[in-house]
């Protein structure tokens, strides 16, 4: 997952919505853990569209 630091408000909407509890917000930095299964819920829940899914490798 790619986070735009220009758009992110560090609000935690993605963290609490993640069904795998795979996102960690350390005040200003969003980190995705290996638990992430790319369900895309964080992409949709972000009020400002700061998260995008990178193309599958």
Partner 1 sequence: MKKIETDVVVVGAGPAGSMTAKWAAKGGADVLMIEKRQEIGSPVRCGEGIARSWLDRVGITVDPKWVARKVKGAKIVSPSGKHSLMIDETKAGNEVGYVVDRVFFDKALAADAARAGTKIMLKTSATSLVKEDGKIAGVRANSYGEPVEIRAKCVVGADGFESQVGRWAGIDTTLKPSDITTCYQYRLTNIDYDPDYNEFILGSVAPGGYAWVFPKDENTANVGLGVLLSKLKHPGEVKEYLDRWIARDPRFKNGQPLEAVSGAVSVCAPLDSVTTDNLLLVGDSARMIDPITGGGISHSCLAGMFAGKVLAKGVQANDLSMNTLQEYENAWREKMENSLWRDWMAKEKLITIPDETLDKLVEAVSKVDLQKITVHSLLAAVKQTYPDLVKEFEDLI
Where on the chain is the footprint of partner 1 (CB under 8 A)?
7, 9-13, 15-17, 19, 21, 24-27, 41, 43-52
Residue partners of 54: CB distance under 8 A and separation at least 6: 1, 2
Nearer to partner 1, 5 or 11 (CB): 11
Specify the residue, 32 or 50, whose C-beta has the smaller distance to partner 1. 50
Under 8 Å between Cβ of 45 and 17: yes
How far apart are CB 26 and partner 1 at their closest, in Å?
5
In the bound state with partner 1, the residue whose beta carbon lies nearer, of 11 and 36, is 11
């Amino acid at each position: 997952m790619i986070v735009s630091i220009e758009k992110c408000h560090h609000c935690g909407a993605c963290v609490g919505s993640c069904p795998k509890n795979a996102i960690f917000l350390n005040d200003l930095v969003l980190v995705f853990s290996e638990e992430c299964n790319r369900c895309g819920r964080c992409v949709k829940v972000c009020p400002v569209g700061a998260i995008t899914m990178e193309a599958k490798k």
